[in-house]
A and B are shown apart, each in its own frame.
Chain A
Amino acid sequence: SQTIHQWPATLVQPVGSPLSLECTVEGTSNPNLYWYRQAAGRGLQLLFYSVGIGQISSEVPQNLSASRPQDRQFILSSKKLLLSDSGFYLCAWSVMGYYGYTFGSGTRLTVV
């Protein structure tokens, strides 16, 4: 069966520090991968999506970047965190031809 792992569950980082969040998928090949953010009082905002290794599309300009070094690995990074980067980050995957995502359990990031 397909599973998605996302870690860490909670993270508190000082302003200006780097960030690396990792997401891995098991049980499927060549998934589409997504990073979403839910900020306080806001909905789910698509940050990045990837249809294959090394292929990253950014949906909104921001202080973050994403990489896909392996087929089932998706990484969200920042060189210097801002207070506005605080939020709940969600990784998700989908398979070509099928609607709907499977989400990871999320990472609560608090930048202080």
Chain B
Amino acid sequence: DQQVKQNSPSLSVQEGRISILNCDYTNSMFDYFLWYKKYPAEGPTFLISISSIKDKNEDGRFTVFLNKSAKHLSLHIVPSQPGDSAVYFCAASEGGSEKLVFGKGTKLTVNP
């Protein structure tokens, strides 16, 4: 039973364009969501997060949108850069728990 789903295993975009990575969840008790970025042979690094009391959080080129009614969140990267090429993991936590549930990841490739 996968509670956090990233249905697109891969995404390819041109440099300078927008990258949109999607994530769906099934557990309505999730109240905090995070995005992690992972390069090959390295541990994931925290990118951006959002609380369920918000519907948008922005940090530079990265914006996360949360649609609670649809149980859907998305990460927008504008403009995309070749250095953004990595696997992006969506993660969620429930009710103050520090345990995170991760999706399977989406591999983003930004072509020069």
A: which residues have CB within 8 A of B? 6, 9, 32, 34, 36, 42-46, 49, 88, 90, 92, 94, 96, 98-106, 108
Known pairs A103-B43, A106-B43, A108-B41; A43 contacts B98 (CB<8 A): no
B: which residues have CB within 8 A of A? 6, 32, 34, 36, 41-46, 49, 89, 93, 98-105
Q: Which of B46, B93, B105 is within 8 Å of A43, CB to CB?
A: B105
Closest A residue to B96 by CB, please name it. Answer: A97
Can you list 14 residue pairs at the A/B interface with Cβ under 8 Å? A6-B43, A34-B99, A36-B102, A42-B104, A43-B89, A43-B102, A44-B102, A44-B105, A46-B100, A99-B34, A99-B49, A99-B98, A100-B100, A103-B44
| Chain A residues, CB < 8 A from B105 | 43-44
Known pairs A42-B104, A99-B49; A32 contacts B44 (CB<8 A): no
| Chain B residues, CB < 8 A from A44 | 44, 89, 102, 105
Q: Determine whether the beta carbon of A106 is less than 8 Å from that of B32.
A: no
CB distance from A82 to the nearest CB of B (A): 22
| Chain B residues, CB < 8 A from A98 | 98
| Chain A residues, CB < 8 A from B49 | 99-100
Q: Determine whether the beta carbon of A105 is less than 8 Å from that of B98.
A: no
Apart from A36-B102, A103-B36: 15 A-B pairs, beta carbons within 8 A: A9-B41, A42-B104, A46-B102, A49-B99, A90-B44, A99-B34, A99-B93, A100-B46, A100-B49, A102-B46, A103-B44, A103-B45, A104-B43, A105-B41, A105-B42
Q: Determine whether the beta carbon of B89 is less than 8 Å from that of A32.
A: no
| Chain A residues, CB < 8 A from B102 | 36, 43-46
The winner among A92, A101, A104 for most chain B CB atoms within 10 A is A101
